[in-house]
Structure 1
Amino acid sequence: MRTGKAAIALDLPLPPALAQGKQQGAYAALRDAILDKRLPAGTRLPSTRTLAERWQLSRGTLELVFERLRDEGYVSRVAGSGTRVCAVVPDLFIAAGSGPPLALALAQQPLSEPAASSLTGVQVGVPFVARLADPALFPVKAWSQALGKALASAPTALLSSPDPAGLPALRERIANYLRSYRGIRCNAQDLIVTSGIRQCIDLVARSVICPGDKACVEDPGYRTARSLFERAGAQVVAVPVTAEGIDDQLLERHLDARLACVTPAHQSPLGVTLSVSRRLMLLDWANRADAWIVEDDYDSEFNYNNAPLPALKALDQSDRVIYCGSFNKTLFAGLRVGFMLVPASLREPLLATLQGTGGAVGVTEQLGLAEYMANGSFVRYLRQARQAYQQRRDLLLECLAEQAPGCFAVTGQQAGLHFVLWLPEGTDEQDFCQRAGSQGLQLQPIGNFCQQVQLPPAVMIGFTALTAAQLRFAGRKLAALLREVS
């Protein structure tokens, strides 16, 4: 007689998806049961042999299904312990919350917990400036297949006369993704394809800023944004960042500003999340100031502790937010494809600037990415990458905790490609980084990202594009340095 949670899986009917193939049908049955909570967290699944007999499938087919579920983060497989449903469903970490109307839902949520968690020089495999997508994780075969299929079916006219705003098929896929995973109500015509967030900000600076206009930026913050606004002739104002994000009370002093540039999901570099109340206050400020908000959503796809809040743009009832995203941060840095979701009144001037500067993205990259998103590969890759990055983060944090207990504090680790390591009180940031450099470690001090604010000593730790062996080896060196300065 069957007992316990394992019996639930045996009683699950195999869905009609068998028409799509036995393997896909079995996969869909188990995945949907996990997502619907019919197989709760911790449930031990029956063995592949037992389930094969129940569903009249081959054991080999179910082995492939179990391996796929494991790779996508739905189940864990441990020798001697069987296959169990993971404690957390991976889809929760790439999809924004849903439910009541967004403004009401966010207003009713409690304030986020205070959690304090660019420069050039980020590199794959270099501790600890490896805060970028790991190209070793990218499924080149799947990408090649998507690219080949897209090119084979593309009209020849499309290869020579693409839409200046970006391929309609790609913009439609991006709009679908934003609606499903970032809580943004949008359409393909609202989007412009760019080479990345840097180009998004540059287009805004060139199209919106007039010499002498005031542009508010976070302090500490993304230095490239500040530089681009200054080049456009703006008077750049540094607004301090607190544990809840950009300081709305100090921003209130600048009702004459033309725009504010913020990183609400995972503030760069501190890693704090802009609280719900400050999101609403920021939108109210923009309405009263007749100003624009540039939302730099550079790494919201990677959340490790809970589902991300919907984007700031999701609350934008007055069309004041220019939302910027990038596939360079999620897939691989050399892709050079990003996008911006623009207010209707800015679409034509931004497109004119894009065409005037000759900055359109290559059509082959757009074709490949549109197909890659259409066949589900993009979301599957996000699940796998999130799981890999979380494991790397945990490995490094465990190493530091074991070998340098009480010598540091960490913030901003709940999401993203980096966290902030706060050094012992009185430590000289620059000296610590020089000493780390002599040990083969490259560190970026938080002070380099500050304009006017002065923060306790800290460094950024990029961990996503490092192997487990690199994390252990470099982690031991970093722990030794922390013990020396404590």
Structure 2
Amino acid sequence: MDTVILSDWLAVRLDRAAAEPVYRQVLRLMQQAILTAQFPPGAKLPSSRTLATDLGIARNTVLHVYDQLTAEGYVISTTGSGTYVADTRPDSAAVSARRAAPGAVGPTATATGTGAVDATEATPARTARERRGLSSRGSRLIDKAGVSLKQWGAFMPGVPDVAEFPARTWSRLQARLWKEANPDLLTYAPGGGYRPLRRALSDYLRVARSVNCTPDQIIITTGIHQSIDLAVRLLTDVGDRAWVEEPCYWGARSVLQSSGLTLSPVPVDEEGLNPREQDLRNPPRLALVTPSHQYPLGMVMSLARRRTLLEYARQHGVWIIEDDYDSEFRYGSRPLASLQGLDEAGQVIYVGSLGKMLFPGLRIGYMIAPEHLVDTFRTGVAELYREGQLMQQAVLTEFIMDGYLTSHVRRMRALYGERRQILIDAITTHFGDTLPVMGDEAGLHLVLGLPDHANDREVVAAAYDAGVIVRPLTSYYSGEGPVRRGLLLGYACVPNEKIGPAFATLARIIEQTALRKPTRAA
């Protein structure tokens, strides 16, 4: 492409009526011509005066374009000689060497070693992902992802009713703090977070959850996922074993697996975590438990099991992460005391979040570190995540100190209790006692059991097509042993009047799919 052709090529592509400035258009078009070799390396650009005349634009516009192309390495300008297209083509020797590197996994290569996929077990979808550069760890994370495309509606589990949040109160507190414009609230958070918030949370948790802690032991995070991630990074190495409940929360499982831990699913029964002999013979480095309200089945870990687990952890140096999600929402009884409150050996890391109490978008959680690990965790959270959100933390502090948190939780507990009962009544109306209801004593969801022959994933897919969101219970299992079949139904974010009609739709789908008798082979 010579200089005349370049001028013509640009002229027919310029849109004088476009909102994009002419300068940006010329720059973009010339970059495109160089990258696609339509204007090859070594080619001389027309002078700025000539190109400006040919295009009918100001010479300064062309000068700005040439300066930008030079700054970004597209062209080389030589005084007295002119401006030439730079050679930006990839080094063919480097590309060839990279393609032939030992151990490279490509379309025709076979991966070996831990976590590798050979040709016999690779699926087309997974192979395609690996060709796009995903690691084996990344592939596993995406393959087993539990995140939903929708985060609101009947019957999405684990979502509070954000429409009931006292937004005006929060806005008023926030406006006052922004008016003061304290510079200390606009910078990075100190290790551990905003101290007044840690003090307020310490007072709240001692009363509400029987937690033993000082403000210094509280580390502010963005939520339970980050709290678990921090604990895993500081207390474990790649390949270490971790106990997880079977079944367990998919998000926590993903965090542990993506950190390189080897997961050992431990079954639960009516008293919570129930390690088998083979589990006890091989102490893990870490155990992740939900003792106050097992997720997703809802049982409470008995006091005997709690004491046994704590003693086992003390003897074998096992770190326990206590995920105390939804602990404030119990119906018919007071919230249960935490496992951390019984810990005398400093082996429990307690994690919680304010997202379910207030609104998920707040992204403020906390962890309570044992006293001897406080400095380590405060340094770790600052080093890895460079925390901020001090203004939000300050607003939350005012919200707690003025009593709004306690009153909001009390009001929402009553509202969620009503919705829970409406949903249970709807289940009884359609199915009587044919299908069991589990885990309804606390939290924001319950589990509706299905027959052993049912395919709960099939029910979920059909319900989604009908506009109802539920989760399959089987997806919370590791797949290494027997599973229960059922559906997780969240009721917190569903208005009272919509629960009945939505469940009627779901009931029809259950009857058409899950309750069909399996046909016998002839």
Q: TM-score with structure 1 length normalisation?
A: 0.72
Counterpart residue type for residue 491 of structure 2: F
Matching residue of 2:498: 470
- Which residue is 1:177 aligned to? 204
Contact 1:219 1:239 in 2 (8 A): yes
Counterpart secondary structure, 1:294: strand
Q: Write out aligned runs for 1:43-442 (5 A).
A: 119-121=146-148, 123-152=150-179, 155-160=182-187, 162-250=189-277, 253-442=280-469
CA distance in 2, matches of 1:457, 1:302: 25
In the alignment, the residues of structure 2 paired with residue 292 and residue 346 of structure 1 have an alpha-carbon distance, to the nearest angstrom, of: 12
Q: Is the 8 A contact 2:189 2:389 kept in 1?
A: no
How far apart in 2 are the matches of 1:369 and 1:230? Answer: 32
Contact 1:447–1:454 (Cα < 8 Å) also in 2? no
Indicate how the Cα distance of structure 1 residues 233 and 267 shifts in structure 2: closer, same or farther if over 3 A, else same: same
- The answer on whether the counterparts of 2:185 and 2:391 sit within 8 Å (CA) in structure 1 is no
Cα deviation 1:54-78 (Å, max 9, x = unaligned): xxxxxxxxxxxxxxxxxxxxxxxxx
Q: Deviations over 1:202-242 (max 9, x none)?
A: 10111111122211111110222222222322222111111
Contact 1:123 1:132 in 2 (8 A): no
Q: Which amino acid aligns with 1:264?
A: P
| Deviation at residue 158 of structure 1 after TM alignment | 4.1
User: 2:484 maps to which residue?
Assistant: 456
**Preserved CA contact (<8 Å) 1:183 1:311:** yes
**Residue 245 of structure 1 contacts residue 272 of structure 1 at CA under 8 Å; is this kept in 2?**
yes
Q: In 2, Cα distance between the equivalents of 1:210 and 1:300?
A: 30
Q: What runs of 5+ residues in structure 1 fail to find an aligned partner? A: 1-117
Residue 265 of structure 1 deviates from its aligned partner by: 1.2
Q: CA deviation at 1:354?
A: 1.5
Judging changes above 3 Å, is the alpha-carbon distance between structure 1 residues 254 and 459 closer, same or farther for their aligned structure 2 residues?
A: farther
Deviations 1:251-305 (A, max 9, x none): 7525531110001111111111111111111101110111110000111010012
**Equivalence for 2:42:** none
Which moved further from structure 2: 152-161 or 422-431? Answer: 152-161
Q: Do the aligned residues in 2 keep the contact of 1:125 with 1:467 (CA within 8 Å)?
A: no
Kept after mapping to 2: 8 A contact 1:326/1:339: yes
| Matches of 2:338 and 2:150, distance apart in 1 | 28
Normalised to the residue count of structure 2, the TM-score between the two structures is 0.67
Give aligned-pair identity as a percent.
32
Contact 1:248 1:282 in 2 (8 A): no
**Alignment partner of 2:265: what SS?**
strand
Q: Aligned letter for 2:241?
A: K
2: distance between equivalents of 1:263 and 1:315? Answer: 15
Cα distance in 2, alignment partners of residues 427 and 167 from structure 1: 50
Q: Match for 1:373: what amino acid? A: I
**8 Å CA contact retained: 1:418, 1:463:** yes
> Where does residue 481 of structure 1 map in the other structure?
509
| Residues 152/213 of structure 1: CA separation in 2 closer, same or farther (3 Å cut) | same
Counterpart-to-counterpart distance in 1, 2:281 and 2:321:
16
Aligned residue number for residue 38 of structure 1: none
Unaligned runs of 5+ in 2: 1-144, 516-522
Higher RCO (CA-CA < 8 Å; seq separation 6+): 1
Task: Give secondary structure in 2 for the equivalent of 1:218.
Answer: strand
Cα distance in 1, alignment partners of residues 281 and 357 from structure 2: 34
Asked if structure 2 preserves the Cα contact closer than 8 Å seen for 1:124 and 1:465, the reply is: no
More moved, 156-165 vs 217-226: 156-165
Match for 2:186: what amino acid? L
Say which is worse superposed, 387-396 or 240-249, in terms of deviation: 240-249
Q: How many angstroms does 1:362 deviate by?
A: 0.5
Residue deviations 1:126-161 (CA, integer Å, cap 9, x gap)? 222242111101000111122233444574334335
Deviation at residue 437 of structure 1 after TM alignment: 2.6
Change over 3 Å in CA distance of 1:466–1:439 after alignment to 2? same
What is the distance in 2 between the residues matched to 1:129 and 1:161?
Answer: 35
1:160 counterpart SS class: coil
For 2:147 and 2:458, locate their aligned partners in 1 and report how far apart those are by CA, in whole Å. 20
* Alpha-carbon distance, 1:477 to partner: 1.3
| Separation (CA, whole Å) in 2 of partners of 1:435 and 1:225 | 27
User: Which residue identity is paired with 1:334?
Assistant: G
What's the Cα RMSD here? 1.9
For structure 1, which segment, 138-147 or 331-340, has the greater mean C-alpha deviation from structure 2 after superposition? Answer: 138-147
Question: What letter is aligned with 1:462?
Answer: G
Larger displacement relative to structure 2 (354-363 or 139-148): 354-363
Whether the 8 Å contact between 2:188 and 2:388 is mirrored in structure 1 is no
Question: Residue 257 of structure 1: SS of its match in structure 2?
Answer: coil
Aligned CA distance change for structure 1 residues 263 and 291 (closer, same or farther; 3 Å)? same
- C-alpha distance in 1 between matches for 2:334 and 2:181: 37
CA displacement at 1:455 relative to structure 2: 2.3
Secondary structure of 1:318 counterpart: coil
Whole-angstrom CA distance in 2 between matches of 1:180 and 1:149: 29
Bigger drift between 209-218 and 229-238 goes to 229-238
1:154–1:292 distance in 2 versus 1, CA, 3 Å: farther
In the aligned structure 1, how far is the partner of 2:169 from the partner of 2:149?
A: 26
